[in-house]
Amino acid sequence: MDLRLYNTYSRQKEGFTPLRESEVRIYTCGPTVYDFAHIGNYRTFLFEDLLRRTLQLFGYRVVQVMNLTDVDDKIIHAALTRSVSLETITAPFIKAFFEDLGTLNVEPAEYYPRATEHIPQMLCLIGILLEKGCAYRLGGSVYFDISKFPPYGNLSRTKASQNRAFSRLESDEYEKEEITDFALWKERKEGEPFWESPFGPGRPGWHIECSAMAMHYLGETLDLHTGGIDNMFPHHENEIAQSEAATGQMFVRYWLHSSHLMVEGERMAKSKGNSYTLRDLLAKGFSSKAIRFLLTSAHYRTPLNFTFDGLVQAEKHVKRIQDFFHRLLEYQGNTENHPELPGILRRRENELLDSLADDLNISGAHSALFSLMRDINPWLLSGNLSLHDVRSVIGVLRSFDQVLGLLEEKGEADGWILALIEERNQARKRQDFSRSDQIRDELIQKGIVLEDTAQGTRWRKK
Ligand code: AMP
Ligand code: ZN
């Protein structure tokens, strides 16, 4: 089946084929680690997780690079304000970022390069741009000359006006109206961290960081490059200019951008004071799976409005999925194989694949899952399936979950929960209800809720 993805560069859905057979090389712009990432950031990282998992479902091996921006204007500002080193600012947030990725069940990328560990690669790239006459030195800084790169503006469909083309900006972030030459290397400023370089002491601009790290790990031409839509200009436009001017090769074959997580009509952003971190929501008692469900529930190219009602709904959807899964795992009946089951499973699997193949249509994928549950639940409740049938359904559900990532597997990590449940069962058998209540309370405190059913005790995370 053909996978079709919307390429922002062409503004069209295109059939996807990687440059190297069966291997897909993706660069994903990572977090700027000067604070906790907010759930808007995680919407983008979860879209990238969906992309990665879908590519794998379609049989590709994925090599993904996600950089950590651990030096830029914002981090330096934070370090100067608190009179501490860059590392003091970034280390706790890098740790928190990886914890959050685990909590949200994001599959790890193959590489997480840090900008501060790739300064030589950046200097090398800047050197090539100077040699080719696409960059110029001014004082101790180096700027990219956008007039030397005629395709400049093709990604964001914007062009510099004549009088703007000869001005330059030091800041990494600016609006389309300010389109201009931009800094590759910024001359050292009093009190700021710096690195020695052939152009004098200074530090890299944000855009050169991503070009250098992307090409270092993935080669001159990448299959896919992703980020939030706010990264398209100037960040990705500048990445194209730097990389292609240096190599003469196409930098990225497919550009994918996700739309924003919004709050009451405005983009969620730290600077707007309307953001929530993952930790804020977990502290309010929401489950990580419901947050994952909510943040992936709209198509990645449409804005998604964040509300607590939406999160409550997501919690209900996730509970239905978990209950269905646990019902399958605990199924006791054993009738003949159901004649209609194989056809139904094939149909729902095809629906899932067709939906994802169409530019990651997540609503279609979710509806394939919920239809599957509606098909199977009556038979499960009436005991009208064989154990072989149930194993087939579990297999299909797990294959859906390779992409959706919503199931709570009761694996070895949960052994301690099962051990306590077993101890509680023993206590109840000998009518030691004070001990059994004590165990229930202990589990509740650890976020585990028990439900006693006719089939035995079930547990779920709160
Ligand atoms: P930053 O840490 O600011 O570099 O952002 C990390 C990623 O999150 C980038 O790909 C941004 O485009 C993305 N991003 C920032 N704000 C939002 C938002 N409100 N919704 C979705 N993605 C966002
Ligand atoms: Zn980037």
User: What is 135-194 written as a DSSP string?
Assistant: EEEETTEEEE-GGG-TTTTTTTT----GGGTT-EE-SS---GGG--EEEEEEE--TTS--
Nearest CA to ligand 1 atom 11: 228
Ligand nearest to the CA of 214: 2
- Whole-number Å distance, alpha carbon 333 to ligand 2 midpoint, is 54
Those residues with Cβ within 8 angstroms of residue 447's Cβ, 6 or more apart along the chain or in another chain:
461, 462
Tokens encoding 187: 């001359």
- Whole-number Å distance, alpha carbon 74 to ligand 2 midpoint, is 15
Average pLDDT on 361-386 reads 96
Percent of the chain with pLDDT over 90: 80
DSSP letters, 196-207, are: --TT-SEEE-HH
**pTM of this structure:** 0.88
pLDDT of residue 409: 73
Radius of gyration of the chain (CA): 26
pLDDT of residue 427: 86
pLDDT of residue 36: 96
Type of residue at 416: W
What is d(CA 162, CA 143) in angstroms, rounded to the nearest whole number?
18
Q: Which atom of ligand 1 is nearest to the CA of 228?
A: 12
Distance of CA 84 to the CA centre of its chain: 30
Output the CA–CA distances (angstroms, integers) from residue 299 to 31, 79, 270, 352, 376, in the order listed. Answer: 22, 37, 23, 14, 27
Average pLDDT on 263-268 reads 94
What is d(CA 409, CA 396) in angstroms, rounded to the nearest whole number?
14
Segment 132-178, tens digit of pLDDT = 999 999 999 999 999 999 999 999 998 876 556 566 777 888 877 77
What are phi and psi for residue 41, nearest 5 degrees?
Answer: -55, -45
Per the prediction, the chain carries an average pLDDT of: 92
Tokens encoding 184: 């590759």
Nearest CA to ligand 1 atom 12: 228
Q: Which atom of ligand 1 is nearest to the CA of 270?
A: 16
Read off the DSSP letter of residue 257.
E
Residue 240 has pLDDT above 90, yes or no: yes
pLDDT of residue 415: 58
Residue reference for tokens 């400049």: 152
Identify the residues whose C-beta falls under 6 Å from ligand 1.
29, 31-32, 40-41, 43-44, 69, 227-228, 230-231, 260-261, 267-269
Residue reference for tokens 């201009």: 180
Average pLDDT on 319-329 reads 95
What is d(CA 314, CA 325) in angstroms, rounded to the nearest whole number?
17
Segment 17-43, tens digit of pLDDT = 999 998 999 999 999 999 999 999 999
pLDDT of residue 159: 80
Segment 382-429, tens digit of pLDDT = 999 999 999 999 999 999 999 999 998 755 445 567 677 877 887 888
How many angstroms separate the first and last alpha carbons of the chain? 39
**Please, is 262 exposed, middle or buried when counting C-beta atoms within 10 Å of its C-beta (0-12, 13-18, 19+)?**
middle
CB atoms within 10 A of CB 386: 16
> Please, are residues 404 and 372 in contact by the beta-carbon 8 Å criterion?
no
Average pLDDT on 293-316 reads 98
* CA nearest to 210, candidates 164, 242, 244: 242
> Please, are residues 210 and 235 in contact by the beta-carbon 8 Å criterion?
yes
pLDDT of residue 422: 72
* CA nearest to 121, candidates 28, 185, 211: 211
pLDDT of residue 246: 98
Residues in a beta bridge with 411:
none
Average pLDDT on 102-107 reads 93
Rounded to 10°, the helix 387-404/39-57 angle is 130
Nearest CA to ligand 1 atom 7: 41
- Whole-number Å distance, alpha carbon 174 to ligand 2 midpoint, is 15
Average pLDDT on 122-131 reads 98
Residue reference for tokens 């921006």: 69
Which element (helix H / strand E) includes 461?
strand 456-461
> Please, are residues 344 and 384 in contact by the beta-carbon 8 Å criterion?
no
What does the CA dihedral 414, 415, 421, 423 come to, rounded to 10 degrees? -160
Average pLDDT on 445-462 reads 77
Tell which one of 230, 239, 296, 300 to mutate to probe ligand 1, the residue whose CB is within 8 A of the most ligand atoms: 230
Which element (helix H / strand E) includes 329?
helix 308-329
pLDDT of residue 413: 45
Nearest CA to ligand 1 atom 5: 31
Spell out the domains of the chain, with CATH numbers in brackets. 4-258 (3.40.50.620), 266-404 (no CATH), 411-461 (no CATH)
- Measure the CA angle with vertex 229, ends 278 and 73; round to 5°: 75
- Whole-number Å distance, alpha carbon 455 to ligand 1 midpoint, is 46
Q: Which of 118-127, 159-168, 359-368 has the lowest mean pLDDT?
A: 159-168
pLDDT of residue 443: 87
What is d(CA 457, CA 14) in angstroms, rounded to the nearest whole number?
50
pLDDT of residue 282: 93
pLDDT of residue 454: 63
- Whole-number Å distance, alpha carbon 353 to ligand 1 midpoint, is 28
pLDDT of residue 458: 75
Percent of the chain with pLDDT over 70: 96
Per this entry, what is the length of the chain? 462
Residue reference for tokens 């079709």: 4
What is d(CA 132, CA 247) in angstroms, rounded to the nearest whole number?
10
CB atoms within 10 A of CB 290: 21
pLDDT of residue 410: 59
- The model's confidence at residue 319, banded by pLDDT at 50, 70 and 90, is very high
CB atoms within 10 A of CB 448: 18
What is d(CA 185, CA 162) in angstroms, rounded to the nearest whole number?
24
> Please, are residues 226 and 258 in contact by the beta-carbon 8 Å criterion?
yes
Question: Which string of b and e fits 343-382 if b means at least 16 CB within 10 Å?
Answer: ebbeebeebbbebbbbbbbbebbbebbeebbebbeebbee
- Whole-number Å distance, alpha carbon 226 to ligand 1 midpoint, is 11
Read off the DSSP letter of residue 234.
I
- Whole-number Å distance, alpha carbon 114 to ligand 1 midpoint, is 17
pLDDT of residue 305: 97
- The model's confidence at residue 455, banded by pLDDT at 50, 70 and 90, is low
Average pLDDT on 95-110 reads 92
Q: Which atom of ligand 1 is nearest to the CA of 230?
A: 12
What is d(CA 66, CA 113) in angstroms, rounded to the nearest whole number?
7
